Amino acid sequence: MSEFVLNVVKAQVDATLCEIDRLEGSEFPYEHSKKALDEIRQLFKDHQESLLQLTSTTDKGTVALVCNSAFSSVKSSLDILGFILRSTNVRNAFEVYGPFLRMAQKLLGKDTKLLISSEWYFSPFTFIGYQQLPGFVLIGLPATESANPLLLPLAGHELGHSVWVETSRAVPYRKPIEDCILEGIKTRWSEYKMLFPQYEQSELNTNFFAQQTWKPAWSWAMKQAEELFCDFLGLRVFGESYLHALAYMLAPLTMGKRPENYPNTVERAQTLVTAAKNYGVNVPENYVRLYTDRIGPIDEQRQVKFLLSLADQARVSVHDKLIQDADTVVGSSGIPSWSQEEITQCLEAFALAVPAQRINSLSSILNAAWQAYFAPTLFSEMDKHRNRNGILGDVVLKSIEVFEIEKRLAGEPSC
């Protein structure tokens, strides 16, 4: 490792620390953004100290290891630092932070920390597996929709990813999915043999190279199972409002290639309908018809087409377990569920354009919000110059703010 490279990495670490110092001048509405910044600063202070200890007599392998570790941190930290900065932006709906932190702590433990940020991706997402921030949940919501409370149920899906990883939910599914894929190959042996003629059935799980022929199907099935678990968790927490929010994001997607890591769109909706019946959630009329499947592998992609069909079959085999698993997780968390009485109470308040009061469940507010969205006469007598959805958004966010204040006054932990 040359002296030039060592000096470059030192300069990059110094520059990152300078940027962190600048970010610290931001106004942090919640302490967890500041805590995340402090954690990352300490990481780079440690890198800086390690680099300063290197001398001309240090073993070259050690120098390379220290430099590579520091450089990797520099590369991976920028996304997170940007996320932390955007979590301070006033376009974020700060009213939802307290309720979602409380929800995350009920699902993942009382020491869980939360960052919510507006992001320049249309689809909500979450950072998973960022080792420098253990115990943090980072949820990004589309900047264009950051003031739209109707999409807040989708944060339940993103929380599901953290639950899946942090509580090792994947472990019980690995072997059953593998077994299903291997059984599918044996059942369709002539198809497999045309694609991979060099292997025999006895080698499928003993020969490393034979294993690599079907491992993509296993990986896709595991990711599909995770995505469905997250859907089911969001549905279990937020009920019908989750179905509407998902349709808002996915129903316009009628073209393009199907991602292998997700069930195809119509089947995803059908599976949600099945889960909804299990959870006692009302399903909107003709809900599945809102969706259109995306294009799967073409005939020339014979291997991908075969493996994806195996993945789909394996994922279907664990549907019932995933539905039950999400139900168990949410049921044991203590997160209050929606009630029709509270939804009606919210709607009565919304009709007067005032915040709902004395509501026990965030889900009740969001389900009422969607019912109000579909009520064409609501706000018809209000200011004609104001956007109807804007009025609804304001009153829903104010209701969430009142909900949080009442929780704190009732002795719930302050966020």
Mean pLDDT over residues 388-410, rounded? 90
The structure tokens 């009329």 sit at 285
Q: State how many domains the chain has.
A: 4
More confident residue, 392 or 275: 275
Write the single-letter amino acid at 371: Q
Write the single-letter amino acid at 318: V
Q: Which domain holds residue 367?
A: 340-409
pLDDT score at 385: 53
275 inside domain: yes
Query: What is the rounded CA–CA span in Å between residue 161 and residue 180?
Result: 24
- Is the predicted pLDDT of residue 414 greater than 80, yes or no? no
Q: What is the pLDDT of residues 222-259, one digit of tens each?
A: 999 999 999 999 999 999 999 999 999 999 877 788 89
- Is the predicted pLDDT of residue 1 greater than 70, yes or no? no
- Is the predicted pLDDT of residue 58 greater than 90, yes or no? no
SS (H, E, C) 259-325: CCCCCCHHHHHHHHHHHHHHHCCCCCCCCHHHCCCCECCCCCCHHHHHHHHHHHHHHHCCHHHHHHH
Q: Grade residue 415 by pLDDT with cuts at 50, 70 and 90.
A: very low
The tokens describing 76, both together, are: 């991976």
| b/e 356-392 (16+ beta carbons within 10 angstroms → b) | beebebbbbbbbbbbbbbeeeebbeeeeeeeebeebb
pLDDT score at 267: 95
359 and 383 both lie in a single domain: yes
155 inside domain: no
39 and 186 both lie in a single domain: no
User: Which of 41-55, 111-125, 256-270 shows the lowest per-residue confidence on average (mean pLDDT)?
Assistant: 111-125
Alpha helices in 109-259 (DSSP H): 154-166, 171-187, 189-195, 208-238, 240-250
Q: Grade residue 126 by pLDDT with cuts at 50, 70 and 90.
A: confident
Contact 341, 314 (CB under 8 A): no
159 inside domain: no
Mean pLDDT over residues 136-161, rounded? 89
DSSP state of 151: G
Contact 114, 101 (CB under 8 A): yes
238 and 310 both lie in a single domain: yes
Residue 116: name the closest of 248, 40, 28 by CA.
Answer: 28
125 and 9 both lie in a single domain: no
pLDDT score at 192: 95
415 inside domain: no
41 and 97 both lie in a single domain: no
Residue 121: name the closest of 137, 141, 139 by CA.
Answer: 141
More confident residue, 147 or 343: 343
The structure tokens 């005939």 sit at 299
Mean pLDDT over residues 4-15, rounded? 92
Angle at Cα 270 formed by Cα 268 and Cα 274, nearest 5°?
115
User: Which of 78-92, 161-175, 351-365 shows the lowest per-residue confidence on average (mean pLDDT)?
Assistant: 78-92
114 inside domain: yes
Query: What is the rounded CA–CA span in Å between residue 290 and residue 285?
Result: 10
pLDDT score at 231: 97
- Is the predicted pLDDT of residue 131 greater than 80, yes or no? no
Last residue of a domain, one of 73, 88, 103: 88
Distances (CA, A) of 268 to 166, 204, 292, 311, 388: 24, 30, 11, 14, 31
213 and 312 both lie in a single domain: yes
Look over the chain and give the mean of its residue pLDDT values, rounded to a whole number. 90
Contact 122, 144 (CB under 8 A): yes
Contact 13, 47 (CB under 8 A): yes
Query: What is the torsion angle, in degrees rounded to the nearest 10, for the CA atoms of residue 222, residue 227, residue 228 and residue 232?
Result: 140
The residues facing 137 across adjacent strands are 114
pLDDT score at 174: 97
143 and 57 both lie in a single domain: no
180 and 302 both lie in a single domain: yes
- Is the predicted pLDDT of residue 279 greater than 90, yes or no? yes
Say which residues have a Cβ less than 8 Å from residue 299's Cβ, sequence separation at least 6.
305
- Is the predicted pLDDT of residue 280 greater than 90, yes or no? yes
321 and 177 both lie in a single domain: yes
- Is the predicted pLDDT of residue 97 greater than 70, yes or no? yes
